Each structure stands twice: as C-alpha cells, then as structure tokens.
Structure 1
Amino acid sequence: MNTQVRKEAPNHDKLTCYTDYKCRLPKCVDRYNAWGRDRERAIANGTWQPLLDAEPVRRHLLRLHAEGITIYRVAALTGLTYKAVRGFTQHDYGNAAPRRYRVTREVAAKILAINTEDHTPGLVHPIGSERRFQALVTIGWPTIHVARRAGIHPSNRTSIFQASRMKATTAQRIAATYDEMRHQRPARHGVSATSIKRAKQQAADRRWPPPKYWDEVGAIDDEHFEPMYRVTRREIVAQDAHWLMTTNGLNKEAAAQRLCVDKSYIDHAFRQHPQYAPRAAA
C-alpha cells in the first residue's frame, strides 16, 4: 500500500489531471494525447481556436438561474467547480480576478448543454457546504455567524449537514457566503477575540482544512475526496498497518514488511495514534 502523502487529482476526466497533477493512468494519458493530436490537426488546418467568447455562456447561466437552476446546480451537473462556473457571471469576491470573458470549447459545451426541461432544481450532497463552514471556522468565524450570514437558522447550522442531501439553493447561498467571509476579518464584524480564539482552536483540534488548502486541491465539493490536511506519514502508516492486521490477518512484522518500514516504526505509529492500534497487536 502507498504510504506517501501526495497531491491526488480530484477527478480523472479533465486535462488538468495529466498536466497539473501528473496523473499517468492510461485513460488520462490517452485523453491528453488525443487532445494533442486534435490540436495539431486544427493548427495545420488553420482552425485552432482554443478560447471562445464567454458571453453566450454567461447569458445561458443567467437564464438557467432565472428558471431556478442555480450556479451550484450547474457545477454539480457539469463536473466543474462552483468557482469556475460563477466566474462567468461575477468576479471573485475579495480578489482582483475579473469576470471570465473567455471559455474553452469543452467548458462552453458542458454548460450550454444544460436546459430547464431536463434539469430541474434539486438536491446536492452537503459535503461542500460543510467544508466551507469548517474552513471559515479555521480563520476565526464561529459557525453561528456563518449561519446567520447565509440565511440559515442558527439551530440548524449543523443538522443540515447530517442529511444525505440538501437543497441546491441553500448550498449556493453557503458558497456565496463563504466567498465573501473568507476575505473578511471576524474582529471587524463584531466577533470577540475570545470567540475567534475558540473557533480557531476548535478547527485545529478537528484538523479542519482552511480555505487556502481547498484553493490548492480544488476538490471542496468532491464527496469522494479525502482531505489529507495535517495527516503525517506516521499516521498513514498506523492506518495502513491497522487495515493489514485486522483485514488481512497479518502480524506486525508482516505488516511492516508490506509497508516497507521497520517494526519499530509501526510501534511508534501506534503509540502516537492509539486509535489505530489493534487490541491484540502482535
């Protein structure tokens, strides 16, 4: 089993998987090579036009929104990030990034293919909204303040994440609130120093990733992505050794050999992370 902490691609259906995450799965390599061949042919024929005017995409998104299909819903249907889709209708809150005026053919085709007849406003997975709440806590925002800004009753600020699905409109409100609050200082909005310290400590104790982490990995809405924020190699070894010993029936020496570490390393890993130590560890 692989015990190294590395940056995994949040998906395997885009060119960024190959170019940005150095993924070399056969299907990803084939996709990249096919794109390269198409590009070379188009250049030779004088038809290469990688970017298009994004105005049709912007107008289509506004029409969809008017019909009740939110930007968050479009992102879920197309596999694009919320931030990427939102960029066609408005600038990035708190940053200098302007509205997007150019778009690739692939992205334009995905968005323009959505219509109100086939896709009605629906429910989405709550993981992205929950992670946004948690990320704001890491920079000192108590969840009660986040809930109020997002138009959510404070008493519901945790229960809404316990269901398997939530309203797409609620998810979009939370995403918009996150984009605003992440660039604001809690102290300037009436949050006491004690509350800020308590919020940051809560996030640190639970190892919640901050906004910068999600900016880097780009998978805040991916329910299948497991964040590795502040997870050490020793903890990963403890997890893997636990799995080998409890699932495969290996003893500690055999598990160490499988993980290419010394038995003493597993001993240290279990001492630091006793929650993974099997009760009858050999």
Structure 2
Amino acid sequence: MTAAHRQPPHHDTLTCYTDYKCRLPECVDRYNAWSRDRERAIADGTWQPLLDAEPIRQHLLTLHAAGITIHRVAQLTGLTYRSVRSFTQHDYGNAAPRRHRATREVAAKILAINLDEHTPAVVSPIGTQRRFRALVAIGWPTVHTAIRAGLHPSNRNSMLRYPTIQARTAQRVAAVYDEMRHESPAKHGISATSIKRAKLQAQRERWAPPSYWDEVGGIDDPDFEPQYGITRREIVAQDAHWLMQSGLDRAAAAERLGVSKSYVEHALAAHPDTERELAA
C-alpha cells in the first residue's frame, strides 16, 4: 500500500515539492530552477542558504510599532507565531537565543508585508485585555500595567469594554507586557498583599498567565477561546448537557463520553451553571 501524501497549503514555495511531495509541473520547475541556482552558487563559492536576520528583526519592530502584532504577521505569512516571534525575542523561558539567521523564503515572506497595506487604525481589544489579565495572574495589579504603558489608570477598565481600541494603544500594552512578564512585581515596589490579591483574582476569574499564551498562541485572536483553568469534570458536565439536549439520557451520555454514569452525575451536580450557559 502506498502512503498518502499530505496536500500542500499552497503551490508557491519549495516546501510544496520537498515536504509535500507535490509534482505539479510548475512546482517541479521551481524546484529544478532552485537546484540549478544552488549548484551554480556552490561552484562559484557564493552559496549562502541562510541570511542575516537583522533586516527581518528591524522590519518586525517597525510593523510592531505601527500596530501589526506578531500574531498578525504569522497570519499574513503562513508562518507560526513562535517562529516569527523568535526573530525579536528569546524563546520561551529564554531556552533558546533570538534567531540571527533565516532562510531566503522566510525572509521574503516577512519582508514582503507592506506597512501601508496592513496597518490598522483600530484593533480588537481582546489581545490588550488578555495581556492585562495575564500580568495580573503573575502578580501585577492592572494599575501598574496601565502606568507603564502610558495610559491613564482610570481608563484601563472602561477602555477594554469598547469594541475597538487604538492600534497604538494595543501596541504600547504589548510592548510593556513583553517586559513585565519577565520582571518581579516585588522588585518594583508592589506589596506582597497586592501581589497576592492580584493572583487570587486571576485564579478566581481563570485568567491565563503568560506561560499559557506562550504555549497555545492566539493571544490577539478574538476567535480563540482559552480553556485555561477548566477541569475535566467541568468539560464532562458541559459535554453531557449538550448530549442530553440532543436527546440522550445520562447513561447514554456517559457511555458516549467514555465515563461512568456516576461520574456524569457528580460532574453535573458540581457544575450546574453549565446548563444555563448552554441554554443562553
């Protein structure tokens, strides 16, 4: 039996040929042309498969200052959030240094983003809201984040209730978020009581910390629904309610979910609000 090949997401890069085994004539021609250029450059001693990433970094910083987030760059280029981020910052937890080299293909994709075509005047407040809350989860009261971002403290809550906010405001918050997430609130004069109060609020509200957003990405994506802090029992309660609304009884719902009927009953008893949430 022959192995099935994955379908390429597009037909305009070498990965179409090398990773997805695409053999469309135009894709084969592209690969052959690249291979000939490579062999010629190697023979001439001019082959440089990787480029200096500093122009990429500077371009990303320019986009960043104009309100085009790393998440948006990833969307526009088809690259992962983490790979784009690595050109401007250390890897998560400083596990790896900032990238200083890049392939020609990656460089071309990022440098092709035109500032005038993609700079928004206003953006969704969701990324700003999540950054405020993520900092609360590690002990930063929102008033300190607002001050660091150059915002008036009294506007920090009402601002996030609007359907859109100024892109430059979102960018200022994103910039201080990347700084504050690596800093200790206590070393900046935040009292132990305030730090504890902030962390308890985040725990109560299930606000995800920066480490969660590092792992899943999507901090600026309004369509992404974080699952931070949701227990397995609560998920079972939600799924059971949905199945029961579809006509199944508790025993059938339990069988469908792969748990016992008693587990479903305990889950429903522990999370009665899930029924109201689904009905809303």
Q: TM-score, normalised by structure 2?
A: 0.73
Q: Confirm or deny that 1:69 pairs with 2:62.
A: no
State the AA in 1 paired with 2:231. Answer: T
- Verify the 8 A CA contact 1:71 1:86 in the aligned structure 2: no
The residue number in structure 2 matching 1:267 is 265
Q: Distance in 1 between matches of 2:216 and 2:273?
A: 27
Aligned counterparts, 1:70-219, within 5 A: 70-72=67-69, 75-79=71-75, 85=84, 88=87, 95=94, 99-219=98-218
Q: CA deviation at 1:106?
A: 4.2
Cα deviation, 1:219-261, whole Å, max 9, x if unaligned, reads 3223232222232221111011111223x23322232232222
State the AA in 2 paired with 1:125. Answer: S
Q: Distance in 1 between matches of 2:182 and 2:265?
A: 43
Q: Confirm or deny that 1:249 pairs with 2:247.
A: yes
- Verify the 8 A CA contact 2:71 2:218 in the aligned structure 1: no
State the AA in 1 paired with 2:156. Answer: R
Q: CA deviation at 1:189?
A: 1.3
Tell me which stretches of 4 or more aligned residues in structure 1 moved more than 3 Å.
25-35, 40-51, 58-65, 80-100, 104-107
Gaps of 5+ in 2: 23-27, 40-46
Cα deviation, 1:42-79, whole Å, max 9, x if unaligned, reads 797546976432233245446657xx73452x642542
Q: Confirm or deny that 1:225 pairs with 2:224.
A: yes
What SS does the corresponding residue of 1:213 show, helix, strand or coil? Answer: helix
State the AA in 2 paired with 1:202. Answer: Q
Q: Distance in 2 between matches of 1:33 and 1:119?
A: 27
Q: CA deviation at 1:269?
A: 0.4
Q: Distance in 1 between matches of 2:138 and 2:183?
A: 9
Question: Structure 1 stretch 120-129 or stretch 46-55: which is displaced more?
Answer: 46-55
State the AA in 2 paired with 1:241. Answer: A
Q: 1:27 to 1:273 in 2, by over 3 A?
A: farther
Q: Confirm or deny that 1:240 pairs with 2:239.
A: yes
Q: 1:62 to 1:197 in 2, by over 3 A?
A: closer
Q: Distance in 2 between matches of 1:272 and 1:229?
A: 18
- Verify the 8 A CA contact 2:92 2:214 in the aligned structure 1: no
Q: CA deviation at 1:110?
A: 2.7
Q: TM-score, normalised by structure 1?
A: 0.73
- Verify the 8 A CA contact 1:142 1:199 in the aligned structure 2: yes
Q: Distance in 2 between matches of 1:63 and 1:267?
A: 55
Aligned residues: 252
- Verify the 8 A CA contact 2:206 2:228 in the aligned structure 1: yes
State the AA in 2 paired with 1:274. Answer: P
- Verify the 8 A CA contact 1:128 1:221 in the aligned structure 2: yes
What SS does the corresponding residue of 1:103 show, helix, strand or coil? Answer: strand
Gaps of 5+ in 1: 1-24
Q: 1:135 to 1:50 in 2, by over 3 A?
A: farther
- Verify the 8 A CA contact 1:135 1:209 in the aligned structure 2: yes
What SS does the corresponding residue of 1:118 show, helix, strand or coil? Answer: helix
- Verify the 8 A CA contact 1:136 1:178 in the aligned structure 2: yes
Is the radius of gyration larger for structure 1 or structure 2? 2
Question: Structure 1 stretch 26-35 or stretch 120-129: which is displaced more?
Answer: 26-35
State the AA in 1 paired with 2:172. Answer: R
The residue number in structure 2 matching 1:16 is none
